[in-house]
């Protein structure tokens, strides 16, 4: 995984009073875990699944390979033409003057030319069509002149041009894909190009998730005083849909000791991963914390990142438990920075990375030194083609609309204060996260 660097170019650490609310005093940072520490602890404690299953190649998208794929064939498996044109012997290439060749047949893709090609003869050949053994050079059709039954070829061509050799892409016996590789579109095609109708993969993970809290109402219900709609469950469901996992939505669980305990046990029974949001910070939803302490081996972490300070991580019976914070932006930030790498690791994906780019700041990003910030931002290109970045306005962790406006996180190192126009910072495009 790509480490999130903390030493990116920025002005010296400075304490700037900005109206953000909250209290990010340095003194309060003692005892907080850095993102790297939390990520390392998480990944070290997760044993990737090993159960395998076989799927049809057409259904393999999003699965992780359970075995190495070694090629039983050369790809391509015969010498063929890279162009629509005319195939001749290299020895016949005209040296000083254009030369006429007699056209003796055609090699189609899938219907090779079966006859002989003699000296000073040529055949018409299509892209991908097999090259007869007699010829080794292809002249693009745009480069010839048709003269009655003959083909006029000029000078300036190279021997063996426009020909694809057998095994040029993949050699028979080569290791094509390694165990632990996520199957994306290119891998689907690659596996098919070797002729495999089925592939051995690690099974899908089962993920259960629910919200807790008496203040939460479902969409379509009527809000009473002090209540809010449960939005986190929708965000989490959306983020999970990008993965090849079986999703079990368990709804909203009220603040009731027995119901919470039953929900955790049911989730642990039927899933590999349990995700909740809210109820993991200090002074929070009493029963959630109490139940987790009773049922599982759970760590309640305070992270030195913003948004997303409180996070619970551990196990409920055999299931991995991820207790995300309650604030909607914190849910997404902690899921992408910690939850997603953890789920990918558990799924057996050995190559999970997150894309990081560098962009020049065009408007200040207000910040106080202390925590690693993932501010919501928009990257674009300026007139010189340089990547530039600006924030989306309000950066508080309950401003979910900012996540929707943004196309990336602006990563501002823990020790950095406000970042000013002209400085270069690292950004994490949302496209690379999912
Ligand atoms: P908590 O971490 O439970 O103290 O929650 C922090 C903030 O997130 C509070 O303002 C909660 O009302 C809000 N919150 C918690 N759960 C949800 C949810 N499922 N949907 C929307 N907001 C939530
Ligand atoms: Mg709460």
pLDDT tens, per residue, the chain with 434 residues: 444 333 333 222 222 222 333 334 444 567 899 999 999 999 999 999 999 999 999 999 999 999 999 999 999 999 999 999 999 999 999 999 999 999 999 999 999 999 999 999 999 999 999 999 999 999 999 999 999 889 999 999 999 999 999 999 999 999 999 999 999 999 999 999 999 999 999 999 999 999 988 899 999 999 999 999 999 999 999 999 999 999 999 999 988 889 999 999 999 999 999 999 988 876 655 678 888 888 889 998 999 999 988 999 999 999 999 999 999 999 999 999 999 999 999 999 999 999 999 999 999 999 999 999 999 999 999 999 999 999 999 999 999 999 999 999 999 999 999 999 999 999 999 987 75
**CA neighbor of 415 nearest in space, from 301, 329, 302, 304:** 304
Distance separating the N- and C-terminal Cα atoms of the chain? 14
Ligand 1 pocket test, candidate residues 279, 288, 326, most atoms within 8 A of CB: 326
Atom of ligand 1 nearest to the CA of 281: 2
Distance (angstroms) between ligand 1 centre and the Cα of 286 equals 14
Atom of ligand 1 nearest to the CA of 310: 2
Atom of ligand 1 nearest to the CA of 233: 19
Ligand 1 pocket test, candidate residues 209, 277, 279, 287, most atoms within 8 A of CB: 277
**CA neighbor of 208 nearest in space, from 259, 267, 142:** 267
**CA neighbor of 194 nearest in space, from 161, 169, 219:** 169
Instruction: Please tell me the predicted confidence (pLDDT) of residue 213.
Output: 87
CB atoms within 10 A of CB 402: 20
Give the integer Cα–Cα distance in Å for 84 and 82. Answer: 7
Instruction: Please tell me the predicted confidence (pLDDT) of residue 257.
Output: 87
CA 60, 62, 68, 70 dihedral sign is positive
Q: Which residues line ligand 1 (CB under 6 A)?
A: 211, 213, 215-216, 228, 230-233, 277-279, 281, 284-285, 325-328
CA dihedral (137, 139, 140, 144) in degrees, to 10, reads -170
CA 269, 273, 279, 282 dihedral sign is positive
């Amino acid at each position: 995984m790509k480490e999130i660097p903390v030493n990116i170019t920025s002005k010296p650490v400075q304490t700037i009073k900005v109206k953000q609310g909250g209290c990010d005093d340095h003194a309060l940072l003692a005892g907080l875990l850095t993102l790297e520490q939390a990520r390392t602890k998480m990944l070290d404690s997760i044993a990737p699944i090993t159960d395998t299953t076989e799927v049809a190649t057409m259904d393999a998208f999003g699965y992780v390979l359970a075995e190495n794929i070694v090629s039983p064939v050369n790809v391509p498996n015969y010498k063929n033409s890279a162009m629509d044109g005319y195939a001749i012997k290299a020895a016949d290439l005209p040296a000083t003057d254009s030369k006429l060749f007699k056209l003796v047949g055609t090699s189609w893709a899938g219907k090779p030319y079966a006859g002989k090609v003699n000296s000073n003869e040529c055949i018409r050949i299509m892209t991908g069509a097999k090259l007869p053994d007699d010829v080794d050079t292809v002249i693009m059709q745009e480069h010839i002149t048709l003269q009655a039954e003959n083909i006029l070829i000029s000078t300036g061509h190279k021997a063996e041009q426009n020909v694809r050799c057998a095994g040029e892409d993949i050699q028979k016996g080569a290791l094509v894909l390694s165990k632990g590789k996520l199957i994306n579109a290119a891998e689907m095609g690659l596996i098919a190009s070797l002729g495999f109708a089925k592939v051995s993969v690690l099974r899908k993970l089962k993920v259960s998730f629910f919200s807790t809290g008496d203040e939460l109402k479902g969409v379509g219900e009527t809000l009473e005083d002090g209540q809010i709609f449960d939005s986190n469950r929708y965000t989490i469901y959306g983020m999970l849909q990008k993965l090849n996992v079986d999703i079990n939505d368990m709804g909203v669980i009220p603040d009731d000791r027995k119901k919470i305990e039953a929900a955790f046990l049911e989730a642990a029974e039927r899933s590999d991963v349990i995700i909740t949001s809210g109820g993991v910070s200090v002074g929070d939803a009493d029963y959630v914390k109490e139940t987790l302490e009773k049922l599982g081996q759970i760590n309640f972490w305070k992270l030195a990142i913003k948004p997303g300070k409180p996070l619970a991580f551990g196990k409920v019976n055999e299931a991995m438990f991820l207790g995300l914070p309650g604030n909607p932006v914190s849910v997404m930030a902690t899921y992408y920075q910690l939850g997603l790498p953890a789920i990918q690791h558990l799924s057996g994906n050995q190559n999970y990375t997150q894309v990081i780019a560098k962009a020049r700041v065009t408007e200040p990003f207000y910040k106080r030194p202390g925590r690693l910030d993932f501010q919501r931002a928009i990257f674009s290109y300026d007139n010189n083609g340089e990547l530039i970045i600006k924030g989306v306005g309000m950066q508080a962790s309950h401003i979910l609309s900012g996540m929707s406006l943004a196309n990336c996180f602006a990563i501002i190192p823990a020790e950095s204060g406000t970042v000013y126009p002209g400085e270069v910072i690292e950004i994490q495009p949302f496209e690379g996260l999912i």
